Amino acid sequence: MTRPGASPKTEQLTPGSGLSPSGSTPERVPGTAKCTGAEIVWDVLASEGVDVVFGYPGGAIMPIYDAMHQRSIRHVLVRHEQGAAHMADGYARASGKVGVCLATSGPGATNLVTGIATAMLDSSPIVCITGQVSSSLLGSDAFQEVDITGVTLPITKHNYLVTRAEDIAPTLREAFFIARSGRPGPVLVDITKDAQQATTDAALPPRPVLRSGYRPDLSPSEASLERAAELIAAAERPLIFCGHGIVKAEASALLMELVEKTGIPVASTLLGLGAFPALHPLSLGMMGMHGEAWVNNSIQESDLIIALGMRFDDRVTGNLKTFARKAKKIHAEIDPSEVNKNVTVDVALTGDLHKTLTGLLPRIQRRTCTRWVEHINSLKGTASVRDIQYMPHNGRLHAAHVIHDLWWLTQGKATMVTDVGQHQMWEAQYYRHERPRQLITSGGLGTMGFALPAAIGARFAKPEEEIWLVVGDGGFQMTASELSTCAQEGIKLNVAIINNGYLGLVRQLQQLFYDNRYSATPLHNPDFVKLAEAHGLMGLRVSRREEIPDAVAQARSSPGTTVIDFRVEQEDVVYPMVPAGADLDDMIRRPEPGNEAQGTRQWTSGAV
């Protein structure tokens, strides 16, 4: 059969980073002489524009590590393969390029799993290259053998087992193309040791041969664009939802154009933060479980939702039965399987957001939403007064203060990486993210231990930028061994541990819904200052708000990674909160001033 996809447009096929070897020219011209499978791996990486890989060697990937000599691609030696996958992910999220990690077979490969699943749930393009036992041993339970393609089947966009040297180049080419195109995602390439060692003279294919079943290049129909424009023109209380897809599609400028033309306010998902500038007058901030009440109430009152590159996750919608019942819904989404999955929509704009917005904008009439925006703004009043940030403080340290002061002291310009938990929600609420890729956080999988390795990855993507990672005392200890990587690689990061001595978000649920029974959430922590010093890094401790500026200044001026242990109020709760499964506007609100440690357990529905 002729491949239906055999002759599509060239721009569909060309990998984004270019095909010619960049500064990192290999010693040999690929394809001109016999070379090993392992050498081909590096040739393809170089020609795909890869400048750094994160990995950990081992028996089954030794040929690839051996062939690394004399290559100009930088290799970062991690302390655990989970770190390698998160670093590749952090690199991808910060740069928009494909992140690459290497691991050996068996335990090396299985250690990648959490990182791969994290990338999958947040559509992050990474390519994981794993060594595998020789093909003659496949399936024999050989030493360090594990069926990693089987293991990662549900958590990769696609994966491969390569057993012949001549298949390596075309497979890796295809892997990069699949990882970065369409809805991006992780791709794993498992290469047997004999394939790495075998020689071949197969030339490096200039571009991936498109598989007939893979068609990432979707665009919405003219009819649905027309219908969307009609709905937008007719709506009185419209809202835009800004999701991660805006970041992935590099569509922030088009979103801004849409907002400037229509005056429609923008609510953001956690992963959409920064894709629309937080300080813009029409930016409402984060929606959903820990979104502000005025955002969630506006959603419930709106008559049109324009969801751009988000997937109506349960953390966003609350109870689906009551979610935005009055609103018609337009859903612009690149993955057809996300359309009508959680929320039934009136218009589906299936395709790349860049194309969708380019097609939509000329069809839209200039308009305003003044009364609607005034109404939303009127909802902010009392909620803001109850905000811990505006309360008189006694010098003690609340996490919200730390985040707010970090924002202030870094002039809002730092790239922020967070872990998962209370601190993540406070970061999302109190740092003002002004540009895409400014916030790097694990949304879909909620992976504790993500922040430190992801920040290391981001460091390589943005060598010039100030990077702060905000991390809880629990999550930090899951991957704290990567501090050693920071020290060895000479990496400059600023680590803010929000230390409350608890697994805070779980404790919060115990506090609110399990009668203060703190089952397995108190943490006995190491001395984080000494831990940093043990790695040859600087460690600081802050326990009063007055001490924040000095500590931050010291961290910023230090050439190496600095760890600041912020000892915050132990039983602070993230407010507001929509309990899991509750209606979106049925929120637990911020407590009365002066009562912040206890919080209000009173349920207030509806109006502020």
Q: 439, 537, 423: which is closest to 476 by C-alpha?
A: 423
List, edge to edge, every strand of the sheet that includes 347-350. 283-286, 266-268, 238-242, 304-308, 328-333, 347-350
Would you say 121 or 348 has its CB closer to another protein? 348
Tell which positions 165-184 bind another protein, by CB under 8 A: 178
Cα 506 from chain centroid (whole Å): 22
The answer to whether 565 and 540 have CB atoms below 8 angstroms apart is yes
From the CB of 42, what's the least distance to another protein, in Å? 25
Out of 18, 107, 206, 336, the only residue in the binding site for another protein (CB under 8 A) is 336
Q: Interface with another protein includes 408 (CB under 8 A)?
A: no
From the CB of 150, what's the least distance to another protein, in Å? 7
Would you say 175 or 399 has its CB closer to another protein? 175
- From residue 54 to residue 93, the character string flagging contacts with another protein as x (rule: CB under 8 A) and all else as - is ----------------------------------------
The answer to whether 211 and 180 have CB atoms below 8 angstroms apart is no
Q: Which amino acid is at 187?
A: V
Would you say 124 or 479 has its CB closer to another protein? 124
Strand partners, 77: 55
From the CB of 346, what's the least distance to another protein, in Å? 14
From the CB of 335, what's the least distance to another protein, in Å? 7
Out of 66, 313, 335, 547, the only residue in the binding site for another protein (CB under 8 A) is 335
Q: How many binding residues for another protein (CB under 8 A)?
A: 30
Q: 116, 128, 126, 75: which is closest to 96 by C-alpha?
A: 126
From the CB of 172, what's the least distance to another protein, in Å? 15
Would you say 94 or 445 has its CB closer to another protein? 445
From the CB of 211, what's the least distance to another protein, in Å? 6
List, edge to edge, every strand of the sheet that includes 99-103. 74-77, 52-55, 99-103, 126-132, 187-192, 158-162
Would you say 190 or 596 has its CB closer to another protein? 190
Tell which positions 182-211 bind another protein, by CB under 8 A: 211
From the CB of 350, what's the least distance to another protein, in Å? 4
Q: Interface with another protein includes 4 (CB under 8 A)?
A: yes
From the CB of 337, what's the least distance to another protein, in Å? 4
Would you say 348 or 458 has its CB closer to another protein? 348
Q: How far apart are CA 404 and CA 410, in angstroms?
A: 10
- Spell 91-126 as b/e; 16+ CB within 10 A means b: bbbbbbbbbbbbbbbbebbbbbbbbbbbbbbbbbbb
Q: 190, 93, 122, 14: which is closest to 437 by C-alpha?
A: 93
**6 by DSSP, 3-state: which?**
coil
Tell which positions 338-377 bind another protein, by CB under 8 A: 339-341, 348-351
Structure tokens at 551: 């500590």
- Residue 524 burial by Cβ neighbours in a 10 Å radius (0-12, 13-18, 19+): exposed
The pair phi, psi for residue 70, each rounded to 5°, is 70, 15
- From residue 121 to residue 150, the character string flagging contacts with another protein as x (rule: CB under 8 A) and all else as - is ----------------------------xx
Would you say 77 or 218 has its CB closer to another protein? 218
Would you say 341 or 375 has its CB closer to another protein? 341
Q: Interface with another protein includes 494 (CB under 8 A)?
A: no
Q: 361, 207, 231: which is closest to 303 by C-alpha?
A: 231
Concatenated DSSP letters of 300-343: HH-SEEEEES----HHHHSSTTTTTTT-EEEEEES-GGGTTTSS
Whether the ω angle into residue 576 lies within 30 degrees of 0, i.e. cis, is yes
Would you say 213 or 490 has its CB closer to another protein? 213
Q: Interface with another protein includes 588 (CB under 8 A)?
A: no
Would you say 70 or 337 has its CB closer to another protein? 337
Tell which positions 207-246 bind another protein, by CB under 8 A: 211-215, 218-221, 224
Would you say 7 or 570 has its CB closer to another protein? 7
Give me the residues that bind another protein (CB under 8 A), please: 1-2, 4, 149-150, 153-154, 158, 161, 178, 211-215, 218-221, 224, 335-337, 339-341, 348-351
